[in-house]
């Protein structure tokens, strides 16, 4: 039987394994950690359960598709619900905005709170939809690095509409021109952080991300985010995929410009196809150190990282929901600190995720599990112990002020994740959450492809390669790899 080896059991690796098994491969997955899911994993502190990484779940159809591919009813194994409220937003001047999932309700909220006519916002969202529809076949669903992609009718139409993508101006400039109202501009600038980029640099094409969240909605798995990777892990095993946990891969074996297997914990494992779900930089630097390195791709600017405080909070806050944002008063200064100074900003934007709002078992009754995330530069040797302590005081001070509370005295359990820890736990180069940043207008084309152009039978999936980071894009990368691999 034709054998495929997948390196890494992140969400992209698991999804690739499922599709290759369904295609007819004998599949084995090698994972260095003793758990699956990569960033999308869970842990507990006392009586509080936390999702370690991604906390936003959109486009659940990509998960459902994997179950259906295997002739299973997804609802029998993985359940989720759509959120009525996507996120709650708080500003220092007292403005509060609820981002409802329903577009009519949301545009009315914006008109009521920010006095921006509903028609203005609807025009903005309609333009975002057009960008998404025109770029989806090229940027998301197929390899950017295969000529047949560019010969498809949908691709040619998209290229003909190049100037409508607003690729030559920044996201912030587009938002200012089309929306003008400062709170709403900041609101939509935030979406650059969905792929670890700077809204003052990333191209205006990124408004398509706004369409994704507003149109497709936000969701929460009934058992928490970790159930995404766990349910797919169980699905993979039912398809005959074999997982080797706590097993580090040392090297990808290449013979005559062809990937023929791996060495894991000193033992050779032969294969007809090798797929790396590891970050593309350590894949080359560690596993392909004996091969020519694609320096231009590997040297791209990394995305932002994060400092995350996991707090078991001994109280409940009814004014908060699953997703909550407390904005910085000077967004431009914050992103200048992160991307140019490689430092933390003293008035950070704070994201608070509380899964116990929707998954009651995640915290004791009357208490909440807070995932408190602050955008941070990737790791370039900063003293993260010192920075995290300083940041903690800034965060608590800001939350106390905006929530009229004393959050510090309510913290019963605590753990802190910094960029250096993210790098060591997930092999994400420099702790960057999304691989390369999308600050360059050609970033989509500069991302490493899902295959090797010099080594046959070698493929790549996950957030550091095409089409990018985040759960939906990682799942799409897996689909692209499955489509590229030969049928056994």
- Among residues 216, 244, 275, the one where a domain terminates is 216
**477 falls within a domain:** yes
Range of the domain at 242: 3-38+60-72+223-300+437-484
pLDDT at 195: 84
**376 falls within a domain:** no
Residue 225: closest CA among 106, 63, 387: 63
pLDDT at 419: 97
**156 falls within a domain:** yes
Please give the tally of structural domains in the chain.
2
**368 falls within a domain:** no
| Cα–Cα distance for residue pair 110/126, rounded to 1 Å | 16
pLDDT at 445: 58
Residues 242 and 200 in one domain: no
pLDDT at 209: 72
- Among residues 192, 216, 240, the one where a domain terminates is 216
pTM: 0.92
**412 falls within a domain:** no
Residues 114 and 207 in one domain: yes
**394 falls within a domain:** no
Over the chain, what HEC string results? CCEEEEECCEHHHHHHHHHHHHHCCEEEEECCCCCCECCCCEEEECCEEEECCCCCEECCHHHHHHHHHCCCCHHHCCCEEECCEEEEEECCCCCEEEEECCHHHHHHHHHHHHCCCHHHHHHHHHHHHHHHHHHHHHHHCCCCCCHHHHCCHHHHHHHHCHHHHCCCCEHHHHHHHHCCCHHHHHHHHHHHHHHCCCCCCCEHHHHHHHHHHHHHCEEEECCCCHHHHHHHHHHHHHCCCEEECCCCEEEEEEECCEEEEEEECCEEEECCEEEECCCHHHHHHHHCCCCCCCHHHHCCCECCEEEEEEEEECCCCCCCCCEEEECCCCHHHHHHHHHCCCCCCCCCCEEEECHHHCCHHHCCCCCEEEEEEEEECCCCCCCHHHHHHHHHHHHHHHHHHHHCCCHHHHEEEEEEECHHHHHHHHCCHHHCCCCECCCCCCHHHHCECCECCCCECEEECCCCECCCCCHHHHHHHHHHHHHHCCCC
| Cα–Cα distance for residue pair 326/311, rounded to 1 Å | 17
**187 falls within a domain:** yes
| Cα–Cα distance for residue pair 145/158, rounded to 1 Å | 16
> Residue with structure tokens 């992140």?
10
Number of CB atoms found within 10 A of residue 258's CB: 14
Per-residue tokens: 73 = 């009813």
Report the CATH number at residue 454: 3.50.50.60
Residues 212 and 110 in one domain: yes
Mean pLDDT by 10 residues, the chain (488 residues): 95 98 98 95 97 91 97 97 97 97 96 97 89 66 44 47 63 94 97 90 76 84 95 98 98 97 97 97 97 91 95 98 98 97 97 98 98 97 98 98 97 98 93 83 69 95 89 93 94
Per-residue tokens: 332 = 């431009």
């Amino acid at each position: 039987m034709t054998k495929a080896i997948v390196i890494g059991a992140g969400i992209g690796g698991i999804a690739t394994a499922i599709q290759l098994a369904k295609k007819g491969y004998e599949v084995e997955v090698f994972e260095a950690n003793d758990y699956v899911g990569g960033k999308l994993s869970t842990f507990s502190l006392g009586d509080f359960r936390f999702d370690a990484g991604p906390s936003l779940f959109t486009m659940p159809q990509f998960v459902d598709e994997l179950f259906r591919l295997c002739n299973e009813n997804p609802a029998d194994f993985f359940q989720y619900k759509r959120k009525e409220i996507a996120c709650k937003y708080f500003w220092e001047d007292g403005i509060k905005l609820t981002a409802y999932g329903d577009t009519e309700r949301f545009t009315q909220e914006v008109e009521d709170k920010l006095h921006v006519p509903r028609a203005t916002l609807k025009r903005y969202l309609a333009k975002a939809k057009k960008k998404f529809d025109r770029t989806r076949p090229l940027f998301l669903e197929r390899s950017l690095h295969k000529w047949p992609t560019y010969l498809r009718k949908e691709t040619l139409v998209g290229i003909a509409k190049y100037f409508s993508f607003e690729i030559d101006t920044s996201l912030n400039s587009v938002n200012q021109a089309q929306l003008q109202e400062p709170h709403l501009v900041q609101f939509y600038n935030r979406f650059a952080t969905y792929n670890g980029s700077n809204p003052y640099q990333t191209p205006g094409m990124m408004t398509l991300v706004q369409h994704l969240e507003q149109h497709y909605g936000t969701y929460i798995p009934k058992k928490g985010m970790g159930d995404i990777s766990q349910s797919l892990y169980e699905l993979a095993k039912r398809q005959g995929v074999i997982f080797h946990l706590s097993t580090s891969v040392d090297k990808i074996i290449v013979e005559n410009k062809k990937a023929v297997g791996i060495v894991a914990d000193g033992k050779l494992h032969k294969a007809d196809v090798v797929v790396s779900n590891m970050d593309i930089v350590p894949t080359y630097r560690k596993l392909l150190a004996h091969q020519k390195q694609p320096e231009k791709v590997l040297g791209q600017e990394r995305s932002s990282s994060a400092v995350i405080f996991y707090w078991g909070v001994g109280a409940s806050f009814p004014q908060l929901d699953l997703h909550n944002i407390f904005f910085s008063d000077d967004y431009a200064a914050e992103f200048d600190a992160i991307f140019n100074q490689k430092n933390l900003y003293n008035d950070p934007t704070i994201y608070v995720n509380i899964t116990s709002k929707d998954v009651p078992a995640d915290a004791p009754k009357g208490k909440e599990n807070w995932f408190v995330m602050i955008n941070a530069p990737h790791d370039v040797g900063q003293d993260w112990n010192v920075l995290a302590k300083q940041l903690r005081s800034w965060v608590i001070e800001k939350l106390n002020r905006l929530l009229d509370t004393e959050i510090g005295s309510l913290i019963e359990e605590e753990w802190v994740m910094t960029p250096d820890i993210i790098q060591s736990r997930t092999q994400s180069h420099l702790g960057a959450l999304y691989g390369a940043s999308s600050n360059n207008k050609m970033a989509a084309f500069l991302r490493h492809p899902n295959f090797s152009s010099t080594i046959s039978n070698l493929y790549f999936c996950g957030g550091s390669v095409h089409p990018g980071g985040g759960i939906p894009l990682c799942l799409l990368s897996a689909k692209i790899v499955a489509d590229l691999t030969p049928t056994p």
